Amino acid sequence: MEWVVFAVVAGCAVASAVGLVVRPNPLHGALYLVGNLFCVAVLYLMLRAEFLALAQVIVYAGAIMVLFVFAIMLLVPGKAEAGVDPLGPQRMLALPFAGLLGLVVVLVLPYAAARAPAPPAPGGVQPLGERLFTDYLFPFEVTSVLLLAALVGALTLARRRLP
Amino acid sequence: MVHPGYYAALSAVLFTIGVIGVLVRRNPLVIFMSIEVMLNAANLAFVAFGRARGVADGQIIVLFVMTVAAAEVAVGLAIIVAIFRARYRISVDDLSLMRW
């Protein structure tokens, strides 16, 4: 049963990622990306990472994608990539090299996970919170500084220059 | 249950698709979204490794990656909007100058 769910969700994830790369309209790409994020959230649930699945839906599919759709609507409503490609056939060279990279990563990554899975850390959110606020307290605090820096940076960049 | 190695393989495939998107597409917004796909693939690998070892550390790292991704998207989209205001077209191939 779990295999069936995994196969279906993995297929949806790959298909939506391909759709993002293939579709010329960035708005369609954003919708495909939302589908991909939801699929990954389901995979988190299957890996017993319930909190991350919720955070994925709220932060990624909610906040970040709204930001993306805002930017797309603000900049190029439905405009595809037009004009002659200055790189031309050179760009298609990317495909074999990306395929090579994919081959290497597909071969190496599962090898790194190849051991019998240990029982999951007990509970859902509780061990996560305990580790986060004891061992990982300093990175957690640094994260707040990062968010503040990003906030100030985005405001400065998007500010309309006064004459 | 499904072994975490299969999740790792799936994350590798998703990462490669993201790389192809970054290399092939010209619209900076689509490139950004491909980067998000790559970040998600890395997150999935983290969670899968954490599951294989039975520890919560992988999930904590994913939490930090999500924060960094949110900050990156905010700053990156601000940069794209600023460039569009200055030049009124967006294609990464036009952006070969550091200043104009």
The pLDDT tens digits of the residues spanning B22-67 come to: 988 888 889 999 999 999 999 999 998 888 888 888 889 999 999 9
Could you tell me the pLDDT band of residue A78, with boundaries at 50, 70 and 90?
Answer: very low
Q: What is the DSSP letter of B93?
A: G
Question: Chain B partners of A132 at a C-beta cutoff of 8 Å?
Answer: 60, 63
State the Cα–Cα distance between residues A47 and B53, nearest whole angstrom: 12
What distances in angstroms separate CA A118 from CA A5, A48, A131, one per listed residue?
21, 12, 18
Q: Do B93 and A86 touch (CB under 8 A)?
A: yes
Provide the pLDDT for residue B25.
Answer: 85
User: Chain B residue closest to A107 (CA)?
Assistant: B9
Q: Which domain holds residue A144?
A: 125-163
Mean pLDDT confidence for A25-54: 91
Q: Do A117 and B3 touch (CB under 8 A)?
A: yes
Please report the DSSP string for chain A in residue order.
-HHHHHHHHHHHHHHHHHHHHH-S-HHHHHHHHHHHHHHHHHHHHHTT-HHHHHHIIIIIIIIIHHHHHHHHHHH-TT----S--SSGGGGGGHHHHHHHHHHHHHHHHHHHT-SPPPPPPSSSHHHHHHHHTTTTHHHHHHHHHHHHHHHHHHHHHHSPPP-
Provide the pLDDT for residue B18.
Answer: 93
Mean pLDDT confidence for A130-145: 92
Question: Chain B partners of A74 at a C-beta cutoff of 8 Å?
Answer: 81
Q: Do B70 and A63 touch (CB under 8 A)?
A: yes
Tell me, yes or no, whether A161 lies in a domain. Answer: yes
Assess: ipTM above 0.90: no
State the Cα–Cα distance between residues B15 and B39, nearest whole angstrom: 8
**Biggest alpha carbon–alpha carbon distance for chain B:** 57
Question: Chain B partners of A85 at a C-beta cutoff of 8 Å?
Answer: 26, 93
Tell me, yes or no, whether A88 lies in a domain. Answer: no
Q: What's the alpha-carbon Rg for chain A, to the nearest Å?
A: 20
pTM above threshold 0.95 = no
Q: How many domains does chain A have?
A: 2
Q: Do B56 and A131 touch (CB under 8 A)?
A: yes
Tell me, yes or no, whether A73 lies in a domain. Answer: yes
Of A36, A59, A71, the CB nearest to B77: A71
State the Cα–Cα distance between residues A12 and A134, nearest whole angstrom: 38
Tell me, yes or no, whether A33 lies in a domain. Answer: yes
Of A59, A86, A106, the CB nearest to B66: A59
For residue B11, give both structure tokens: 């994350």
Of A48, A102, A146, the CB nearest to B67: A146
Same domain? A74 vs A2: yes
Query: First CA to last CA across chain A, in angstroms?
Result: 64
Q: List CB contacts of B3: < 8 A, sequence separation 6 or more.
A: A113, A117
Question: Chain B partners of A151 at a C-beta cutoff of 8 Å?
Answer: 74
Domain-ending residue, one of A79, A109, A144 = A79
Domain-ending residue, one of A16, A50, A79 = A79
Of B29, B37, B90, the CB nearest to A68: B29
Domain B4-94: CATH architecture, name and number where available: Orthogonal Bundle (1.10)
Tell me, yes or no, whether A105 lies in a domain. Answer: no
